[in-house]
């Protein structure tokens, strides 16, 4: 039998009350809190970043392709481009691309019962992947498209509907202002649904309508559109795909990632990584100080035992292993306890959503969580390895113990 492991087990599972028992419990508790805090932070940051980013991408895709206008806001009306089947096939053939669809936007004024609001219509086609936006529809239904003419239905945000007192199935007037007064026109449209993304940049501006309506207002031909939305599979890098597209698009076209169009949102999401790292550093420092202090106390309390073992012929290596095994048990207890508590709270939030947030500030009603198991396992293993390496520092004090003085130690 391994001598060091046998003694470590006797010490670790001894029921004898001593000051070190209190310190051990305190050490286990601190490690438990540290691991639980890191797991909770990791899952909440991942969930928050993923949920908010998915909202943005669901509305606009990951990359936008449209006419080259470097000095113009990407949130304004686009200069039309003609559909190019060769470019569409080229984009669709990229393994990273999961979906490509046409769109166009048009500035307008929404009027209902003499109340008006400036809006931006986003025109979509009948083959638009509605599954990405339907989760945000809170009342009503998706637009019914017409085969012959344009659909006379629109989807309005809850924020705009509340501002203008619009209800489902109400008929609203949408005014389109041209370059001069004679080009001004309007359309009577029926509200088929209300949506809410929780992202104010969308909810206070955008209406969803038929792309054919915008083409009719702009006197476009059947081949003219505002641009393309491109959806990228999650595992691929959007910036690298965007660079590939830029080199293959016609010279008068341009592509940009949606993250570059909404830098305020994505920069804010990136800040969460810094907050996560700060918490990780604090927890790591606490764990290191905690394990060093615990092992020092264990060695000091067992000084006589160390002296006896040395007097009986035990070498420094085997005695050091006793305390390393002992400390490893303490660390494992804390890690297992922290894993159980941390994952318990994360799963509780995932299934109940008991932690709520201010949607106007955080874009979500409840704190979202995302469990990435390899990250959680990495946190637990790394914590144990760091703790074990740090425990070597006080364990080396065993070499300084003089057996004669240690046996006399009181």
Question: Has residue 69 got a pLDDT over 60?
Answer: yes
DSSP string, 59-115: HH-SEEEEE--TTS-TTSPPPPEE--HHHHHHHHHSTTEEEEEEEEEEEEEEEETTE
Q: How confident is the model at residue 173 (pLDDT cuts 50, 70, 90)?
A: very high
Task: State pTM to two decimals.
Answer: 0.81
- Paired tokens of 155: 């989807």
Cα separation, 22 vs 346, whole angstroms: 29
Residue-wise burial string across 66-103, b where 16 or more C-beta atoms lie within 10 A, e elsewhere: beeeeeeebeebbebbeeeeebeeebeebebbbebbbb
Question: Tens digits of per-residue pLDDT, 123-136?
Answer: 999 989 888 889 99
pLDDT value, residue 410: 52
pLDDT value, residue 195: 94
Question: Has residue 298 got a pLDDT over 80?
Answer: no
Write the CB contacts of 181 (distance below 8 Å, at least 6 apart in sequence): none
How far is residue 395 CA from its own chain's centroid? 41
Query: Looking at residues 146-156, what average pLDDT do you find?
Result: 89
Q: How confident is the model at residue 72 (pLDDT cuts 50, 70, 90)?
A: low
- Paired tokens of 272: 């969460």
The Cα diameter of the chain in Å comes to 107
Q: How confident is the model at residue 270 (pLDDT cuts 50, 70, 90)?
A: confident
What is the C-alpha end-to-end distance of the chain, expressed in Å? 31
pLDDT value, residue 211: 93
57 close to 235: Cβ distance less than 8 angstroms? no
pLDDT value, residue 199: 87
Cα separation, 166 vs 192, whole angstroms: 11
Query: Looking at residues 275-285, what average pLDDT do you find?
Result: 85
pLDDT value, residue 377: 93
Cα separation, 395 vs 404, whole angstroms: 19
pLDDT value, residue 71: 63
- Paired tokens of 58: 């669901």
pLDDT value, residue 9: 67
Closest among 76, 67, 130 to 106, alpha carbons compared: 76
Query: Looking at residues 173-199, what average pLDDT do you find?
Result: 84
Closest among 295, 390, 283, 296 to 335, alpha carbons compared: 283
Question: Has residue 388 got a pLDDT over 80?
Answer: no
- Paired tokens of 81: 């481009």
pLDDT value, residue 297: 76
Length of the chain: 410
Arithmetic mean of pLDDT over the chain: 84
pLDDT value, residue 144: 92
Query: Looking at residues 31-50, what average pLDDT do you find?
Result: 91
Q: 10 Å Cβ neighbour count for 357?
A: 16
Q: How confident is the model at residue 20 (pLDDT cuts 50, 70, 90)?
A: low
Question: Has residue 374 got a pLDDT over 90?
Answer: yes
291 close to 389: Cβ distance less than 8 angstroms? no
- Paired tokens of 196: 């809410």
185 close to 176: Cβ distance less than 8 angstroms? yes
Q: Give the torsion through C-alpha atoms of 60, 64, 65, 69, to 10 deg.
A: 110
Q: How confident is the model at residue 276 (pLDDT cuts 50, 70, 90)?
A: confident
> CA separation (Å) from 361 to 47, 198, 201, 358?
16, 9, 12, 6
Q: Which of 21-35, 284-298, 301-315, 346-360 has the highest mean pLDDT?
A: 346-360
Cα separation, 386 vs 388, whole angstroms: 5
Lowest mean pLDDT among 131-145, 163-177, 284-298: 284-298
pLDDT value, residue 15: 60
178 close to 240: Cβ distance less than 8 angstroms? no
Q: Where are the alpha helices (DSSP H) in 132-199?
A: 158-164
Query: Looking at residues 181-200, what average pLDDT do you find?
Result: 86
Residue ranges covered by each domain of the chain: 3-55+266-407, 69-250
């Amino acid at each position: 039998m391994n001598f060091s492991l046998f003694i470590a087990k006797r010490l670790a599972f001894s029921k004898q009350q001593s000051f070190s028992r209190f310190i051990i419990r305190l050490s286990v508790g601190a490690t438990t809190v540290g691991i639980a805090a890191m797991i909770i932070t990791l899952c909440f940051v991942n969930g928050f970043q993923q949920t908010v980013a998915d909202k943005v991408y669901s509305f606009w895709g990951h990359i936008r392709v449209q006419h080259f206008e470097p000095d113009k806001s990407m949130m304004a009306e686009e200069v039309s481009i003609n559909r190019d089947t060769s470019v569409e096939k080229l984009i669709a053939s990229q393994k990273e691309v999961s979906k490509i669809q046409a769109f166009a936007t048009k500035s307008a004024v929404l009027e209902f019962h003499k109340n008006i609001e400036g809006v931006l219509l986003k025109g979509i086609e009948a083959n638009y992947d509605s599954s990405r936006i339907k989760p945000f529809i809170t009342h009503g239904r998706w637009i019914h498209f017409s085969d012959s003419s344009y659909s006379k239905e629109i989807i309005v945000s809850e924020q705009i509907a509340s501002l203008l007192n619009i209800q489902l199935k109400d008929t609203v007037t949408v005014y389109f202002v041209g370059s001069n007064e004679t080009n001004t026109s309007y359309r009577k449209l029926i509200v088929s649904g209300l949506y809410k993304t929780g992202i104010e940049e969308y909810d206070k501006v955008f209406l969803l309508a038929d792309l054919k309506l915008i083409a009719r207002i702009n006197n476009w031909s059947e081949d003219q559109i505002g641009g393309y939305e491109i959806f990228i599979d999650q595992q691929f890098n959007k910036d690298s795909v965007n660079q590939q597209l830029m080199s293959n698009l016609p010279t008068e076209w341009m592509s940009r990632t949606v993250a570059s169009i909404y830098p305020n949102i994505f920069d804010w999401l990136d800040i969460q990584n810094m907050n996560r790292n700060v918490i990780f550093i604090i927890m790591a420092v606490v764990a290191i100080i905690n394990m060093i202090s615990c092992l020092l106390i264990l060695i000091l309390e067992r000084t006589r035992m160390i002296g006896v073992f040395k007097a009986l012929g035990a070498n420094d290596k085997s005695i050091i292993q006793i305390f390393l095994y002992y400390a490893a048990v303490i660390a494992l207890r804390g890690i297992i306890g922290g894993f159980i508590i941390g994952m318990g709270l994360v799963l509780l939030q995932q299934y109940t959503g008991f932690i709520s947030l201010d949607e106007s500030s955080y874009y979500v009603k409840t704190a979202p969580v995302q469990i990435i198991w390899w990250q959680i396992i990495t946190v637990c293993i790394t914590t144990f390895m760091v703790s074990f390496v740090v425990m070597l520092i006080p364990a080396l004090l065993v070499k300084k113990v003089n057996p004669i003085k240690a046996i006399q130690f009181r």
